[in-house]
Amino acid sequence: MTYKIAILGASGYTGAELVRLIAGHPQMEIAALAANSKAGKTMAEVYPHLRHLDLPTLVTIDEIDFAGIDLVFCALPHKTSQEVIKGLPRDLKIIDLSADFRLRDPADYEKWYGNPHAAVERQADSVYGLTEFYRDQIAGASFVAGTGCNAATGQYALRPLIEKGLIDLDDIAIDLKAGVSGAGRALKEILLHAELSEGLHPYSVGGTHRHLGEFDQEFSAIAGRDVRVQFTPHLVPVNRGILVTVYVKGDPEAIHGALRDAYADEPFLVVLPFGEQPDMRHTRGSNFCHVGVVGDRIAGRAVVFAALDNLCKGSSGQALQNANLMLGLDETTGLMGVPLYP
């Protein structure tokens, strides 16, 4: 059977990445592509690397007849997403890639995003899309909220450690380095090549980055108490990739063991031998996440690393993995592509 897929917000990077991945999926067919600002254009005009594919012309969301659609990926900006999803049929399978449904508590949403949530009823409804930790719920869900790409990377490094009580919960610092595509195809001065290349800078520091909302929610839920991490994201002149360097207090070998055990059967999570560190370039273009642990010279301290491709495993790849689960397909279908290197 072939499932008919619609992508809303197809003109952004996560939309284009979904098209790339679905083009190689044996049981999905792209039935509709929406991008209000580019409606009427072909995908080849918006993304010439997709030129050889036979794709539907971009339309507005209103033009789509959702009756014929099996699953919708919603790759719209946050805030827009909640407005659109509010109006979609309740029985439609939806995966939202925006930030709108990641936080379960409306107050948390308002705190981090600055506006009251416009679709609170669907917010309650959604399953958090970190596949490895919400697999069963996702398989049974009709509405899944994709995680933040930074939030996913940090959680891959930390969840098993918090769950097992292996680290000091009051002393966690996540130093994150992220490639530029995470900021989207947005016309901002800081994203210009001449501004961004040949440098590296921190942003949203001191506890102001919105993905902290996800860390707070998830880590606190696992720990059964409030957990607050330090988090410093940096923008690096690289197209794709996230690397987290996490400073924790705990036994390095126990930490490594917990990660190795937690991910032993995971198809996309690769734990490196103890003492080795991952590199974001080794996951480029793929759905894999590499995790590593190194013990510090100071006893009782470890550095945990995780690396993944923000557009794929951090966003559109995760979304497709969840879609496979929701449609009853093998979770890895269409996602086993090897990283592109160099």
Q: Which of residues 2-21 bind a copy of itself (CB under 8 A)?
A: 13, 16, 19-20
Cα angle value 285/287/289 (rounded, 5°): 105
Stretch that binds a copy of itself, among 30-38, 58-66, 99-107, 331-339 (CB under 8 A): 331-339
Q: How far is the CB of 68 from a copy of itself (least distance, A)?
A: 24
Q: Quick check: is 149 catalytic?
A: yes
Distance CA 311, CA 102 (A): 17
Is residue 301 within the footprint of a copy of itself (CB under 8 A)? yes
How many residues bind to a copy of itself according to rule CB under 8 A?
86
Residues 177-216, mask of contacts with a copy of itself (x by CB under 8 A): x--xx---xxxxx-xxxxxxxxxxxxx-xxxx---x----
* Catalytically annotated residue among 74, 149, 289, 312: 149
Structure tokens at 88: 């979609």
> Contact, 283 vs 241, CB < 8 A?
yes
Instruction: Classify the C-alpha dihedral 208-247-154-172 as positive or negative.
Output: negative
> Contact, 62 vs 83, CB < 8 A?
no
Is residue 75 within the footprint of a copy of itself (CB under 8 A)? no
Residues between 40 and 59 with contacts to a copy of itself, criterion CB under 8 A: 47-53
> Contact, 210 vs 102, CB < 8 A?
no
**Rounded to an integer, what is the distance from CA 31 to the centroid of its chain?**
24
Structure tokens at 304: 């945990």
Residues between 114 and 153 with contacts to a copy of itself, criterion CB under 8 A: none
Element (H, E) at 201: strand 201-202
Residues between 232 and 291 with contacts to a copy of itself, criterion CB under 8 A: 232, 234, 236-241, 243, 245, 247, 268, 270, 272, 275, 277-286, 288, 290
Is residue 68 within the footprint of a copy of itself (CB under 8 A)? no
Nearer to a copy of itself, 159 or 284 (CB): 284
> Contact, 78 vs 100, CB < 8 A?
yes
Q: Which residues are catalytic?
A: 149
